[in-house]
Amino acid sequence: MTKGLVIVESPAKAKTITKYLGKDFTVLASYGHIKDLPEKELGVDVAHGFEPTYELIPDTKKRNNSRTVRELKSAARKAESIYLAADPDREGEAICQHLREELVGDKAQKPVYRLLFNEITKDAIQASLQSPRQINQALVEAQQARRVLDRLVGYEVSPMLNRGLGGGKVALSAGRVQSVALRLVVEREREILAFQPTEYWTFDARFAAALPPEFTAKLFSIHGETLKTGDFDKQRRNERHVRTEAEARDLERQLREVAEWHVAAVTTREKKRHPVAPFITSTLQQEAARKLSFPVKKTMSLAQKLYEGVELGPEGSVGLITYMRTDSTRIADSAITEVRDFITAQYGTNRLPAKPNQYKNKKGAQDAHEAIRPTSVWRTPEKVAPYLEADELALYRLIWQRFVASQMTPALFDATTIDIEGGPGFVFRATGAVLRFDGFLAVYEEGKDERDTDDEALALKLPRVTEGERVECRELQVNQSFTRPPARYTEATLVKTLEEQGIGRPSTYAQTLSVIQSRNYVEKRDGRFHPTPLGMVIADVLTENFADLFDPGYTAVLETQLDEIEEGKLNWREALEEFYRKFRADLEAAKVNLKKAKDGVATDERCHKCGAAMVLRLGRFGKYLSCTNPECKATRDYGTPPAATAEHGTSAEVAGEIACDACGRPMVRKRGRWGEFLACTGYPECKTTRNLTRTGAPKPAPIQLDETCPTCGQPLAVRQGRYGEFIGCSNYPKCTYIKREAILPCPQPGCGGDITERRSGRGRVFYKCTNTDCEAIYWDRPVSHPCPSCGSPFTLQKTNAQGEAYHYCADKENCGWTELPAEKRKKKDTPPSSKKRSASEAA
């Protein structure tokens, strides 16, 4: 009989843990949750204390859940004791509770324990076995409250949206956290659309002192008043701004008349830049987005792999990082000792602080787990590089560097400010900084969403000057500027805002951002979120009808209540009762409002086709006017004049003088699922459409070429696509031929085709053979760079996270040759000194 059965969530974790336990233990995986609320019904008895009804998750193609549960039950019967070791959080605790219910029931005939560990290492696993615990019912109730809360919102609001906003191919959905995230994106977009830029002027002067170099200073004050150059809404006393060109030119004339300039003050002080705390979940998501351009979902997926275990050759499967769902910056004493020894050996005692650096947690943080750190700092990124994929290595390097830097000394700068005075009270100011001691910057520097004054100071080199010294003004520049609207959210800034406002939990952000994109509520352009017309309608409907539920402040309050349930301070049924009372009233009112909007509100507008009255309705893409004549069915966007006449057979706005390429009739601007586009007024006889640019301007018509299509013989044309210009057949859509530039001949023997650049449906570049029978496809660019190892006539070129290009052999299985990037070559070729040894020597 097996002494113990250990159940974890994933096979990868099971494989790693197996080698730390003896033959008396069996380690199996539950593949995450085994039970959940039913798919096709509410599954919550509201009348009886919100009692949930759970059922086994239906079988899927990815895994057979019923078979998994049968295998776990069979193993449980053979074991003397059962150890439940799901992840150490609310979800993990709920998984353990459901496993206990299915495997042994309420009357357990054998002991069932809960194992908790923050890292998958031998010491952590064995320590948890020596002090097993019981399932924490407060955590289970907190997870259950969240699940029921989200089910009530999603199950009640989503059907209302689908009924109220008409039919569609894609079902609409609403979520407690995802809808607040959508609201933030929509409100930022409206701020940008409503923004009115304010004109202001700045003045830069280039001065030359006795010693080089020449330097640039900005006009700082005029007659004792500080020159204002930013937000004019919060103007204070003794501040002045220059908003018109006339005022700027008058001031320019006065400055040019100044005959003498001198150094009024020189201030030099030491400035410290302290290292930042090791990663928590949200900061890891933000930094990976900034530095590696990883979506939040990808970051969490890679971190999960690093946590569960990676094969490290002779060492076997090893968990490389601690648990990645945490909001605590606490570090274990053993890890502090280890990293301090590493810093001393690798970087010298001058970069080791006298005492370990301590970091405060943000208000309301749960201190159950450590910060995200490597399980052993001696496993440097260079040491594990041969065993990791490129993205895994990039994320591990980021976590490793941040952790090591967090326990190093501050960087020291000499910050110098020079004030240049002249004329009747004009003062120019230049600020520069020189790095005197790099400290933690030898390892890591935190990324930024925008450049700041520190970046400008480091870029400015100042000469040595003394007070009273005369300087010469060599050049004066007068610059017109305008205030800028707030920037659209990136994944990093949206995660930061959600965390700052207490909306959701960092562990849920990946799913939240994924849902609002997959539902086509927002789209990402150049790395920033833009709401779609559908997303703006959804946000407006939810905000107008559920002022509390989808308010960021109220969502944060709900998160606080969930924390109180976890801490045993609040009864979960009472919390849901309080929430549901208000929610139910709002829901009934919303149903009435949406029905009115769908049925239509009478207006004074008349139909341009039949003259009947038009009503104002709400659809998936916004408000629109609809004819009340059932035989007419004409519609027009709300606010759009009836520019098209009845003979055009359309209800949309005529787009200037643009004519259809196919039939010559006018084209009109219409709105569809993916936004606005141009359509021929001859529909349905002519179905020609044309896309619009992002600014709303029509894309140019195709330009025919003298070259003919090799497929159908029609002329080729220069066309505008989603990703720019391309050459394709003018007979599109009947012929879909696209001319592609050959990169190199296909390397497959006897193929005869060429490798060309393509784009996937999501815009990712890949490389494929033009021969449809050939299966050659590459995700990195093939180049005519022979492989020095196997002699292949080509290799693949890749760019790493630092922007360095390198080559590797396409035959990874049989050859595996890789050219080290410049950064790695430099480190590899640099011999270790007595003060800075390699990681392997230090170990």
Residue-wise pLDDT for 734-760, tens only, equals: 888 888 778 888 888 778 788 888 877
Q: What is the DSSP letter of 408?
A: S
Cβ(330)–Cβ(322) below 8 Å? no
* pLDDT for res 185: 95
CA end-to-end span of the chain, whole Å?
A: 42
Rounded to whole angstroms, the Cα distance separating 567 from 166 reads 44
Q: How far is CA 133 from CA 39, 91, 117, 769, 825, in A?
A: 33, 17, 11, 58, 49
As given in the structure block, the two tokens for residue 36 are 């959940």
What letters, b where the CB count within 10 A reaches 16 and e where it falls short, cover 636-666?
bbbebebbbeeebbbbbbbbeeeebeeeebb
Q: Is the pLDDT of residue 230 over 70?
A: no
Three-class DSSP category at 802: coil
Rounded to whole angstroms, the Cα distance separating 105 from 95 reads 14
Q: Is the pLDDT of residue 572 over 70?
A: yes
At residue 57 the predicted structure's pLDDT band, cuts being 50, 70 and 90, is: confident
As given in the structure block, the two tokens for residue 617 are 């309705």
* pLDDT for res 821: 55
Q: Report the candidate in 788, 784, 785, 778 with the shortest Cα–Cα distance to residue 810.
A: 778
At residue 234 the predicted structure's pLDDT band, cuts being 50, 70 and 90, is: low
What's the whole-number average pLDDT of the chain?
Answer: 84
The three-point CA angle 569-573-575 to 5° equals 60
Q: Report the candidate in 33, 17, 43 with the shortest Cα–Cα distance to residue 69.
A: 33
Tell me if the bond preceding 159 is cis, omega within 30° of 0: no
At residue 672 the predicted structure's pLDDT band, cuts being 50, 70 and 90, is: low
Q: Quick one: average pLDDT of 670-699?
A: 67
Q: Quick one: average pLDDT of 476-482?
A: 92
Tokens 């040759």, located at residue: 817
Q: How far is CA 323 from CA 32, 280, 496, 614, in A?
A: 16, 10, 20, 59
* pLDDT for res 823: 45
Backbone φ and ψ for 583, nearest 5 degrees, come out as -60, -40
Determine which of 266-270, 503-507, 647-651, 695-699 has the lowest per-residue pLDDT on average.
Answer: 647-651
* pLDDT for res 488: 93
Three-class DSSP category at 452: coil
Q: Is the pLDDT of residue 647 over 50?
A: no
* pLDDT for res 635: 79
At residue 652 the predicted structure's pLDDT band, cuts being 50, 70 and 90, is: very low
* pLDDT for res 115: 94
Total Cβ atoms within 10 A of residue 230: 12
Determine which of 322-331, 408-417, 684-693 has the lowest per-residue pLDDT on average.
Answer: 684-693
At residue 490 the predicted structure's pLDDT band, cuts being 50, 70 and 90, is: very high
* pLDDT for res 548: 83
What one-character-per-residue DSSP string does 5-57 give? EEEES-HHHHHHHHTTS-TTEEEEE--S-SEES-SSS--EEGGGTTEE--EEP
| Active site positions, annotated | 323
Which pairing describes strands 112-114 and 79-84: parallel, antiparallel, or unpaired? parallel
Cβ(634)–Cβ(627) below 8 Å? yes
Three-class DSSP category at 674: coil
Beta bridge partners of 463: none
The three-point CA angle 668-670-673 to 5° equals 155
Rounded to whole angstroms, the Cα distance separating 43 from 40 reads 9
Rounded to whole angstroms, the Cα distance separating 740 from 761 reads 17
Rounded to whole angstroms, the Cα distance separating 200 from 247 reads 10
At residue 162 the predicted structure's pLDDT band, cuts being 50, 70 and 90, is: confident
Higher confidence at residue 322 or residue 676? 322
Q: Report the candidate in 118, 120, 26 with the shortest Cα–Cα distance to residue 317.
A: 120
Q: Is the pLDDT of residue 452 over 70?
A: no
Q: Which residues contact 334 (CB under 8 A, 6 or more apart)?
A: none
The three-point CA angle 308-309-313 to 5° equals 175
Q: What is the DSSP letter of 486?
A: P
Q: Report the candidate in 214, 213, 196 with the shortest Cα–Cα distance to residue 205.
A: 214
Q: How far is CA 499 from CA 282, 286, 508, in A?
A: 7, 11, 11
Helix (H) or strand (E) holding 614: strand 613-619
Cβ(443)–Cβ(404) below 8 Å? yes
* pLDDT for res 348: 93
Q: Report the candidate in 436, 430, 476, 475 with the shortest Cα–Cα distance to residue 453.
A: 430
Residue-wise pLDDT for 353-398, tens only, equals: 999 999 988 765 666 688 999 999 999 999 999 999 999 999 999 9
At residue 673 the predicted structure's pLDDT band, cuts being 50, 70 and 90, is: low
Cβ(549)–Cβ(169) below 8 Å? no
Query: Residues 316-319: contacts with CB within 8 Å, 24+ apart?
Result: 316/19, 317/12, 317/15, 317/16, 317/19, 318/16, 318/120, 318/121, 318/375, 318/379, 319/13, 319/16, 319/119, 319/120, 319/121, 319/375
Rounded to whole angstroms, the Cα distance separating 482 from 199 reads 5
Our CA dihedral for 673, 677, 679, 684, rounded to 10 degrees, sits at: -10
Q: Report the candidate in 542, 651, 491 with the shortest Cα–Cα distance to residue 173.
A: 542
* pLDDT for res 643: 43
Three-class DSSP category at 649: coil
Rounded to whole angstroms, the Cα distance separating 121 from 129 reads 12
Higher confidence at residue 608 or residue 646? 608
* pLDDT for res 447: 81
Q: Quick one: average pLDDT of 576-597?
A: 90
Percentage with pLDDT > 70 across the chain: 86
Determine which of 88-97, 160-169, 706-715 has the lowest per-residue pLDDT on average.
Answer: 160-169
Rounded to whole angstroms, the Cα distance separating 494 from 497 reads 5
Rounded to whole angstroms, the Cα distance separating 241 from 481 reads 12
Rounded to whole angstroms, the Cα distance separating 371 from 690 reads 52
Which pairing describes strands 738-739 and 675-680: parallel, antiparallel, or unpaired? unpaired
* pLDDT for res 835: 36
Higher confidence at residue 524 or residue 772? 524
Q: Quick one: average pLDDT of 157-184?
A: 83
* pLDDT for res 843: 30
Q: Quick one: average pLDDT of 787-813?
A: 79
Rounded to whole angstroms, the Cα distance separating 488 from 474 reads 40
Cβ(671)–Cβ(622) below 8 Å? yes
Q: Quick one: average pLDDT of 417-434?
A: 92
Q: Which amino acid, one-letter code, is at 623?
A: K
* pLDDT for res 182: 94
Rounded to whole angstroms, the Cα distance separating 529 from 525 reads 7
Q: Report the candidate in 311, 336, 332, 312 with the shortest Cα–Cα distance to residue 322.
A: 332
- Sheet containing 795-799: order of strands: 781-783, 795-799, 805-808
Higher confidence at residue 158 or residue 236? 158
At residue 173 the predicted structure's pLDDT band, cuts being 50, 70 and 90, is: confident
Percentage with pLDDT > 90 across the chain: 41
Residue-wise pLDDT for 194-213, tens only, equals: 888 888 999 999 999 999 99
Q: Which amino acid, one-letter code, is at 128?
A: S
What one-character-per-residue DSSP string does 317-383 give? EE--B--S--------HHHHHHHHHHHHHHH-GGGS-SS----PPPTT---SSPPB-BS-TTS-HHH
* pLDDT for res 248: 94
Q: Is the pLDDT of residue 503 over 90?
A: no
As given in the structure block, the two tokens for residue 223 are 């007659």
